[in-house]
Amino acid sequence: MTAASGFSFNVTASDGAARTGIIQTPRGEIQTPAFMPVGTAGTVKAMLPGTVRELGADIVLGNTYHLMLRPGAERVARLGGLHKFMNWPHPILTDSGGYQVMSLSQLRKINEQGVMFRSHIDGSQHLLSPERSIEIQLLLGSDIIMVLDECTPFPASFEQAENSMLLSMRWAERSKAAFENAGSAEKGHALFGIVQGGVYPELRERSSRALCDIGFDGYAIGGLAVGEGQESMFATVARTAPHLPQDRPRYLMGVGKPSDIVGAVLRGVDMFDCVLPTRSGRTGQAFTSEGVLNMRNACHAEDERPLDMSLECPASRDYSRAYLHHLVKSKEILGSMLLTWHNLAYYQNLMRQIAAAVRAGRMQAFAESFLAFA
């Protein structure tokens, strides 16, 4: 394949299957392992973009499904692209829209061509095909573009998972062709393929090989964190990652809890995205070294301690649990702001801890102690 212009990945340290690295993009570098905050509709919810950056995020994720419906990809393009629109000049990865089409839209109908669906916002009808997904992501100006795939539901029989995976591989080929026809690599965009195959190692291996034959700038593992459980997810990652090129970033989509991330890095994953820190922030949950705290709980009502003095984040240090409890109970926007901020600080700090463990050659021990506690 034509390598994306200005896009590269270099492993800087490794420890077993785990590694640290740097993804170079025309819009700046991404330290891996990387957690990508989710910026669904052009905003990491309840966060200023500058604050997201200060926490250490090198890249955020944008949702093609949400953005194609509102404000619309063509409108974003007329306004100068997603980076300018949302005031985030650093790298952006966009998903293909496939996952949200299946989970959020109405009257969706999937066939070889793509997915026909009605918007959950206004009922308008849209076709999302591999070609249209690439077109939308290019209109948005995404730095890392994902192929359209079908996220195989769980549970699925071997035959269901195989047929679904094969459809995704045909779509991956069409996505690659559409990407190349638009001259996207030369314009600095990168394209990632997505491995499917449910929890069946044989299918995951076949899918990985099919994608490698097509050739991508990076490889995602899709269709996990859909109910199969952590053990099964780890087993699937462990049986998939070895079939992906060492010199390309690996991205575990939609994952996950802190312990999921630790266990997946241990098995060779470099990139993650998840709504958990942001969504939990809006429902009163706080990630801490003591576990997840539900700030609605009355036990916090007179607790003067901050969430975590060890984090260099004002939301973690400058407000008491009692105050956060009050804000959550009172449904104050500031409660969502502070808890989201804190949770993202917790996640970005976790990524730095993981990277340090890999560099120190003690990732296995770090993972064991982390997972024993979690």
Q: Catalytic positions, please?
A: 95, 273
Q: Measured from the CB atom, is 88 or 200 closer to a second copy? A: 88
SS3 letters across 329-365: HCCCHHHHHHHHHHHHHHHHHHHHHHHHHHHCCCHHH
Minimum distance, C-beta of residue 322 to a second copy, in the bound complex (Å): 5
Minimum distance, C-beta of residue 317 to a second copy, in the bound complex (Å): 10
| Interface ranges with a second copy (CB under 8 A) | 41-43, 45-48, 50, 70-71, 75, 78-80, 85-87, 282, 301-302, 304, 314, 318-320, 322-323, 326-327, 329-330, 332-334, 336-337
**Which amino acid is located at 123 in the chain?**
G
- The Cα–Cα gap between 327 and 66 comes to 29
Q: Measured from the CB atom, is 80 or 227 closer to a second copy? A: 80
Q: Measured from the CB atom, is 232 or 320 closer to a second copy? A: 320
Minimum distance, C-beta of residue 295 to a second copy, in the bound complex (Å): 13
Minimum distance, C-beta of residue 297 to a second copy, in the bound complex (Å): 14
Q: CA 55, 58, 61, 67 torsion: positive or negative?
A: positive
Minimum distance, C-beta of residue 42 to a second copy, in the bound complex (Å): 6
Q: Measured from the CB atom, is 56 or 71 closer to a second copy? A: 71
Give the alpha-carbon dihedral of 58, 59, 60, 65, to 10 degrees.
180
Q: Measured from the CB atom, is 121 or 360 closer to a second copy? A: 121
